Structure 1
Amino acid sequence: MTRSLRAERGATATVVALALIPLLGAGAIAVDVGALYAERAQLQNGVDAAALAVAGKCAKKESDCAAPTNMTGTAQTYVTANAAILRDPLANTPLIDTVDNTVTVTADTNVTHILASVLTGTTSTDVSASGSAEWGKPIAGSTLPLAIGVCEFDGNPPIDETETPVKILVEYNTQARATCDETYAPGGFGWLDAVDCIADIDLSGGVVWYKGDRGNSLSKSGCDVASDLAPLIGTTVLIPIYDSYKKVSHECTEANNASGGTVCLRIAKFAAFQLTGFKLSGGNTYVDSGAPTCNGSCRGLQGYFVKYVSVGEAFELGDGEPDGLSVVRMILTDAERADLIG
């Protein structure tokens, strides 16, 4: 081999080596940046789960949240459990506002750069995430136009996810329960007048009277059994609870007691009902064989009340009735919204 050929080969090797440096560097950065984003996503999952968990505890017993440090352990447990690939994520003391019923959980971790550190000298990056949730009682929003009597609710306390459900049968023509403090005409449930099977309920000013009908007739509810009700079997439904019933002439108001043919139900609060089956008139039968039976002329709903339900952002939360349904949901604080935009 001549001297000139050896020189050319040496030059080529040098060029190739130099060309590989930026390629390897780009690859190393891509790998480490990908890992950074993956761990950031895991940490976000952790703080979101922690915020919901803390809000749930505050909803159940708000006095436990008076000292935010009491909830640090809960936050840490959920951050750790939901950020499995992270090494020692640290949850900070939650920021809890018992006036606005909100909680924000932040957490930090450190991500090591195995490859990029060789080129940049940066061995690790601190990563943080923030998640916020709120709790409260639903007081206004759109629901299924189905209302259940307060005595049915009082006699069958709602359960949480850790309890074994005991299914009940709510019959439309049941008599007022002897052990129930409330008194109203016979009827375990009723239907509210609505359009397209959607009732807009607003309890922000207190109890409200709504036009409706007995539970055996849903003709004015705007609901189709096959397309609107049957798909709800096996799901938890937000249900208005009525505590009084009357038949008056014309409008349903507190002051109007003139006898007539307009059926009125007084809505007092909301509940969450896990619907497992029902039997309505017209052969509309979707019976749950594992619930109390509804034979013969019986018309009723099968299922059980639960303590929590998910509602959309459009649903307004407030203080509501002390024994009413509690709702926990994720929110974005102004700072978190700005962080997403920026």
Structure 2
Amino acid sequence: MRLTSRLLRRLGPRRLADERGAVAVLVAIMLVPLLGFAAIAVDVASLYADREQLRNAADAAALAVATDCAQGACGNPVATAVSALTANAGAADAAGATLRTPDVSVGGQTVTVTVSADQAHWFAPVLGIDSTRVTATATATWKAMSHGVAQLPLAISWCEYERQIAKYPLTSTVSRRLDWDLSWLSRCTGPKGGTTLGGHALTGTDSASVCRATSSVGQYIDISIWSSWLPNRCSASHLDSLIGSDLQIPVWDDVDGWLFGGYRAHVYGYALFHLTGYQLTYGEPAFYGYFTRAVVPASATSTTGSTPAANLGATSISLSPQG
């Protein structure tokens, strides 16, 4: 027993020294793959960051092209996409990613933009991987508005709208006094071939305290043929707040009702009138501006609905979810 303990005491330090050497060797051996995994983790994290940045850039590019097309000026969609991509993919570019020319496909009322970038790696080249291509795809759709909130309770006939844009095309940005061509009692041929009443009229409002009217394509809205005076709630301060904005105006294609029971107008679509000024006079106020084509913010309108909307210059755009 004493001999055994003496032998253990003699051999213990020597074994410890041997084990310390073995641990050092194992650490040296494992250091290479550990550093490799860490390096790959850094490169992978960079790829994920670049992909997220490219997703945002693809969304911006698709929206930019869709906005141009909705305004009737598709022009050069690739150049538009490149401009939006450059402006929104700065972080990926600064991180060493080389942006490539995007692929743009426009068909019908939809645009699909695929953007890509070659991300140079920091550590992966030791494994023979110099760079990885990252891609992202976004799709945007533009549609004529089928729902609207008019900040001015005014509606016009389809015939009146056609007369107005015949005199002043939607591409014109010259401000002018809005002079009506058709009287309320005039009759004209509507967009579907039937005869309808022309002219313009005030509409009902959402409540007695607001100067706005919400409506949808295919819906009948109340109109007034007796008074052209704006209600008191449509004050000068309210009109002042509308200057410089595009006002949604419901356009009707049919009117029903009778003299003492009131009239209703069938909403065919929406026009946009860019208001530059107004004049409150005795009777009907005078408005200055021009009919235009524009994209209304998504918060102000919706393109959903079972009734298709006519494209009268008022459109909205939406993004499809990315996969």
TM normalised by structure 1 equals 0.60
Distance in 1 (alpha carbons) for counterparts of 2:47 and 2:227: 57
Deviation sequence 1:98-131 (CA, Å, 0-9, x none): 4xx4433222221223x44467765323221222
Summarize deviations over 1:295-340 as a string: whole Å, max 9, x none: x76621111111222242651356323x52351413233xx1xx4x
Partner letter of residue 296 of structure 2? S
CA distance, structure 2, for counterparts of residue 79 and residue 309 of structure 1 = 18
Contact 2:188 2:197 survives alignment (8 Å): no
2:303 corresponds to: 316
Q: Distance in 2 between matches of 1:214 and 1:300?
A: 18
Which residue is 2:26 aligned to? none
Q: Given the superposition, is the C-alpha separation of residues 174 and 277 from structure 1 closer, same or farther in structure 2, using an over 3 Å criterion?
A: farther
Q: Percent identity?
A: 20
Give the aligned residue type for 1:305. Answer: F
Cα pair 1:148 1:188 within 8 Å, conserved: yes
Question: How many Å separate the matches in 2 of 1:265 and 1:278?
Answer: 25
Mapped partners of 2:127, 2:172: distance in 1:
56
Aligned ranges for residues 187-226 of structure 1 at < 5 Å?
188-195=200-207, 196-203=210-217, 206=218, 208-212=220-224, 216-219=228-231, 223-226=233-236
**Superimposed CA distance per residue, residues 132-152 of structure 1 (whole angstroms, 9 cap, x where no aligned partner):** 211222223433332234444
Residues 75-86 of structure 1 aligned to structure 2 (within 5 Å): 75-84=77-86, 86=93
Q: Which runs of 5+ in 1 are unaligned?
A: 1-17, 62-70, 246-253, 282-295
Tell me the equivalent position of 1:167: 175
2:136 counterpart residue number: 129
Question: Partners of 2:183 and 2:271 in 1: how far apart?
Answer: 21
Q: Distance in 2 between matches of 1:143 and 1:212?
A: 16
Q: 1:159 to 1:124 in 2, by over 3 A?
A: farther
Query: Which secondary structure state, in structure 2, belongs to the residue aligned with residue 324 of structure 1?
Result: coil
Runs of at least 5 residues in structure 2 that lack an aligned partner in the other structure: 1-30
| Equivalent of 1:329 in 312, 317, 321 | 317
**What letter is aligned with 1:300?**
A
**What is the 5 A alignment of 1:1-342?**
29=42, 37=49, 41=53, 44-46=56-58, 48-50=60-62, 52-53=64-65, 56-57=68-69, 60=72, 74-84=76-86, 86=93, 87-92=98-103, 94=105, 96=107, 98=108, 101-113=109-121, 115-117=122-124, 122-144=129-151, 145-157=153-165, 163-171=171-179, 175=183, 188-195=200-207, 196-203=210-217, 206=218, 208-212=220-224, 216-219=228-231, 223-243=233-253, 254=256, 256-257=257-258, 259-260=259-260, 262=262, 264-280=264-280, 299-312=285-298, 315-317=302-304, 319-321=308-310, 324-333=312-321, 336=322, 339=323
- Bigger radius of gyration: 2
State the Cα RMSD in Å.
Answer: 4.4
2:23 paired residue number: none
> Aligned partner of 1:134: which letter?
T
Aligned AA (2:235): V
Aligned-partner Cα distance in 1 for 2:239–2:127: 61
CA distance, structure 1, for counterparts of residue 117 and residue 69 of structure 2: 25
Moved more, 179-188 or 310-319: 179-188
State the distance in 1 between where 2:135 and 2:185 align.
54
Shift in alpha-carbon separation, 1:260–1:48, aligned structure 2, 3 A? same
Query: Structure 2-normalised TM-score?
Result: 0.62
- Mapped to 2, the partners of 1:169 and 1:154 lie a distance apart of 17
CA distance in 1: counterparts of 2:308 and 2:143, whole angstroms: 6
